[in-house]
Chain A
Amino acid sequence: MKKINVKKLFDNGITYLVLLTVSFAFCFPVLWLLLASFSKTGSIYSFDGFFPAEYSLDSFRRLFNDTVMYNYPKWFSNTLLIAVFSCLFGTILVIMTAYTMSRFNFRGRKMLMKITLILGMFPSFMAMTAVYILMTHFNLINQHWGLVLIYSAGAPLGYLVQKGFFDTIPGSIDEAARIDGASGFMIFWKIILPLSAPIIVYTSLTLFAWPWSDFILPRLLLKDRDLYTVAVGLMSLGDDEFSRFSAGAMFIAVPIIILYFGLSKFLISGLASGAVKE
């Protein structure tokens, strides 16, 4: 009896040791960035090992007041606008597409699924030059709406996870509603939507995070410094602006972190129920 206890104790010890190591490994870089943003001098070379020698709120003050070269507040509102609208339109399109592909059995459905699978395999840069030329034609270079358009239009291609979710809602619910005289649209609106909160949260979160931290497309399409998104703007910071970078990084990471933690329950169940089936 005692032998088992020792073994169990040992096992517990190892487990907690691993847990601590893992947590440290994930926590440390984030903590490091956080503390660096409070550095007084701003350059990484003045640090004492990992952490700043002196602390102050200077970099935050400069981030919001010194906007001649780097207009952070403007970048922030640009990014917010793009991300919110792309997320809104994209979510609507993805949910509708996934629902239709899951529930309606029409001719060409399998074909459509195979085509989307293949389309997803093209490297996205391959299309960049063409997108650029197209956007020049539509007069959408240097326009935030151009980005919103591309993000929302590209979103429905990633409908598979959501379709997997709708596949898990039993079809008998639909049939019952149909017998009661509900139309296709009514079934979707009144019955399916309320059931699909987890997947809607999951979708909107991923579709928000994508434009929020995308770098390549905005850099390609936005030319004026004041139109930049945060990602492009932060990349354009000079090497000696490390603490300004980390201060800026904190502000774009914090909303996402709050969202993820607040919604992590939905996130996990959405991800899992969507993935189990094909």
Chain B
Amino acid sequence: MVLLLKNCNAKTIASMLVMGAGQLLYRQWIKGIIYLGVQAAAIIFFISQGALMIRDFITLGTVEGNAWHGTPGDNSVTMLITGLFAIIVLIIYFSLYITNIKDVYETQRLAESGKKIPGFFEELKELSDKKFYKTVLFIPILGVLIFSVLPIVFMILVAFTNFGGETVPPALVDWTGFESFRRVFSLGSFAATFLKILGWNILWAILATAFGYFGGLGLALLFNKKCVKGKAFWRAFPILAFAVPGFISLIGFRFMFAAGGPINQMIVNGGGDVVLFLGLNSTWLSRGIGLLVNTWLTLPTSMLLATGILANMNKDVFEAAGIDGAGPAKQFVSLTLPFVLFATTPVLITNFMLNFNNFGIFFFLRGGFISEGYFLASDTDLLINWLYRLSIDNNYYSLGAVISLVIFLITSIISLDVYLRSDAYKKEDIYR
């Protein structure tokens, strides 16, 4: 960049002032006009709307709507999101501006060293060859930017406002700094609920991941045993369970454990009393059932994965170990397990995160209780369920946003830490 500033000539400076000017001076007509068009479009956009959008983003509206007088007023939430949109446009404009300067400087150097300046169509051809990645990545990046990055940034910003509860449009929303964080962490009912749910959520994620993972590995080893005939047949049963969409199995299990469901009918017919498996007061019973059902749902995937990985394993090692007198248990601990763990660390992390944020399991299984001592949550709810209830069901958007940030911090710190410590990261080439 410094070199560019030191060496640039008049034509390059022209492009710094007006996008595309330098390209036009070098007779690259089409490219110059495109850059010029971008510049014009950006100016028109910011004069007509963009500047206002960014101003509104900072103030979040000043005129409150009045339904009585029929005055529309400002919609703070729309302003927040359109302001973000304008900022993204601004960022895109600046990056185009930089590429414009780099491009013309490139041309300047080609001209100075006496080489031929490529025409528009030659450059277009580059885009399907050496710069193919630019062509390909454009649409995915745009999509991710609009539908993933923009909403996430929006919600991060919402955590610093008082949006939610009574304060939803047409009322005006304001920036309030860390006020929502203070409410979640120090206000009696919030803080208590938060800590209780957090503790259960961590325990749940660890247990659910371990059950699913080692269960799947165990199944794969079982199906791989030499004495098992008709492996494909036996493997079909877990795949059957895998293929049924998750929410159907979950609702099915809910019916099965319901107060009037088949299990209770059998208990009653046998002379027992009805057991409220998933009832209001059966905290640990519902948690246990949740764990069981979740294992049922996740075992098939991890079994398939472990099967695939075991198939990649070098069989000679086992024979050698057998000759040296290592029993099956020893072989498992010192040969199979390290290999599988190495190969699946990323999957293990993904599973941990999926379980940590497992929305479906208790949402479908247990429905919408509110337990005693919890603020708008039940004792099996995970943070993600609480988040859903707070923001989608009850409009507590800013508090929900704070909780999302906490979830994000926890999951990213844990998974980064595990990943950085793992062999999969440290010794990338060990099995290659």
Residues B404 and A242 in contact, CB atoms below 8 Å apart: no
Q: Does A173 contact B (CB under 8 A)?
A: no
Q: Does A6 contact B (CB under 8 A)?
A: no
Residues B359 and A216 in contact, CB atoms below 8 Å apart: yes
Instruction: List CB contacts (< 8 Å) of B289-315 with chain A.
Output: 296, 300, 304-305, 307-309, 311-312
Residues A249 and B252 in contact, CB atoms below 8 Å apart: yes
Which chain B residues lie closer than 8 Å to A272 at the CB level? 305, 307-309, 311-312
Q: How far is the CA of A126 from the CA of B159 in the complex (A)?
A: 11
**Which residue of A93, A121, A185, A253 contacts B139 across the interface (Cβ within 8 Å)?**
A93
Q: Does B16 contact A (CB under 8 A)?
A: no
Dominant SS among interface residues on chain B: helix
With contact pairs A126-B408, A183-B128 given, residues A154 and B148 touching in the complex (Cβ less than 8 Å): yes
B-contact 0/1 string along A1-42, CB 8 Å cutoff = 000000010011001101100110111011011000000000
Nearest to B155 among chain A residues (CB) is A126
Residues A184 and B305 in contact, CB atoms below 8 Å apart: no
Residues B239 and A264 in contact, CB atoms below 8 Å apart: yes
With contact pairs A29-B253, A129-B392 given, residues A153 and B234 touching in the complex (Cβ less than 8 Å): no
Q: Does A169 contact B (CB under 8 A)?
A: no
Q: How far is the CA of A108 from the CA of B77 in the complex (A)?
A: 33
Residues B244 and A32 in contact, CB atoms below 8 Å apart: no
The number of chain B residues touching the other chain, given as a range, is 35 or more
Instruction: List CB contacts (< 8 Å) of B352-406 with chain A.
Output: 353, 357, 359-360, 384, 387-388, 391-392, 397, 400-401, 404
CB distance from B131 to the nearest CB of A (A): 8
Q: How far is the CA of A97 from the CA of B133 in the complex (A)?
A: 8
Residues A119 and B152 in contact, CB atoms below 8 Å apart: yes
Residues B140 and A156 in contact, CB atoms below 8 Å apart: yes
Which chain A residues lie closer than 8 Å to B251 at the CB level? 234-235, 245, 249
CB distance from A270 to the nearest CB of B (A): 9
CB distance from B221 to the nearest CB of A (A): 11
Q: How far is the CA of A264 from the CA of B247 in the complex (A)?
A: 22
Stretch at the interface among A43-51, A54-62, A70-78: A43-51
Which chain A residues lie closer than 8 Å to B357 at the CB level? 123-124
With contact pairs A44-B258, A121-B408, A126-B387 given, residues A96 and B249 touching in the complex (Cβ less than 8 Å): no
Q: Does A228 contact B (CB under 8 A)?
A: no
Residues A256 and B245 in contact, CB atoms below 8 Å apart: yes
Residues A125 and B244 in contact, CB atoms below 8 Å apart: no
Instruction: List CB contacts (< 8 Å) of B170-202 with chain A.
Output: none
CB distance from A205 to the nearest CB of B (A): 10
Which chain B residues lie closer than 8 Å to A246 at the CB level? 252
CB distance from B364 to the nearest CB of A (A): 8
Residues A104 and B132 in contact, CB atoms below 8 Å apart: yes
The total number of A-B Cβ pairs within 8 Å is 256
Q: How far is the CA of A267 from the CA of B392 in the complex (A)?
A: 36
Q: How far is the CA of A189 from the CA of B404 in the complex (A)?
A: 41
CB distance from A23 to the nearest CB of B (A): 4
With contact pairs A12-B227, A216-B359, A268-B308 given, residues A44 and B260 touching in the complex (Cβ less than 8 Å): yes
Q: How far is the CA of A215 from the CA of B392 in the complex (A)?
A: 14
Instruction: List CB contacts (< 8 Å) of A140-193 with chain B.
Output: 149-150, 152-154, 156-157, 160, 183-185, 188
Interface size on A, residues (CB 8 A): 89
With contact pairs A133-B78, A271-B305 given, residues A29 and B256 touching in the complex (Cβ less than 8 Å): yes
Q: Does A269 contact B (CB under 8 A)?
A: yes
The 9 closest A-B pairs by CB, nearest first: A272-B308, A127-B151, A213-B245, A153-B143, A184-B132, A130-B151, A126-B404, A156-B140, A130-B154
Hey, which bits of chain A sit against chain B, CB under 8 A? 8, 11-12, 15-16, 18-19, 22-23, 25-27, 29-30, 32-33, 44-45, 47, 49-51, 93, 96-97, 99-100, 104, 106, 116, 118-131, 133-134, 137, 149-150, 152-154, 156-157, 160, 183-185, 188, 209, 212-213, 215-216, 220, 231, 234-235, 242, 245-246, 249, 252-253, 256-257, 259-261, 264, 267-269, 271-273, 275-276, 278
Sample 17 A-B pairs with CB under 8 A, ordered by A number.
Answer: A19-B222, A22-B237, A29-B249, A30-B244, A96-B137, A100-B132, A100-B133, A119-B149, A125-B359, A133-B81, A137-B78, A157-B148, A184-B128, A242-B255, A253-B248, A257-B243, A276-B312
Hey, which bits of chain B sit against chain A, CB under 8 A? 77-78, 81-82, 125, 128-130, 132-133, 136-137, 139-140, 143-144, 146-152, 154-155, 158, 219, 222, 225, 227-228, 234, 236-249, 251-253, 255-256, 258, 260-262, 265-266, 269, 296, 300, 304-305, 307-309, 311-312, 343-344, 346-347, 353, 357, 359-360, 384, 387-388, 391-392, 397, 400-401, 404, 407-408, 411-412, 415, 424-425, 428, 431
